[in-house]
Structure 1
Amino acid sequence: VKRLFFVYADKHAHAWLKHIDRSQIDMGSGDRALVPGGRLHPIYRITVPADLVQQEHTDGA
């Protein structure tokens, strides 16, 4: 639940996120899966629907 909470908080860019020390929150170890066939979130290590994982932007630099 903690991982999913942060996936949504990041997606919606909540202003209060900057006040949370994520290093103090135990998210466990290992990967988790919410849905089969989704994408693994690179930070929170949970497989979620692809639209919840922000695409990396490359500018060719």
Structure 2
Amino acid sequence: MAIIFSYIFEPITVWLGIYKLENWKYTFSLPIYVIKAVFIRWLVDEVLRKKKYS
């Protein structure tokens, strides 16, 4: 999903004028999307774990 967001959706938003890149490359976004996904997964797992033991 991170690859799709970085190399497909981001260029589409730039092309549509929704997003403007300044000194940024799509490749820079890839690790950010991966880190966000890992964090969200961890957060959801924690919430579900705490709910299970409540």
Between the two structures, name the one with larger relative contact order (CA 8 Å, sep ≥ 6): 2
TM-score normalised by L of structure 1: 0.26
Q: Which has the higher strand share?
A: 1
Could you say which structure has the larger radius of gyration?
A: 2
> Which of the two has greater helix per residue?
2
TM-score scaled to structure 2, two decimals? 0.28
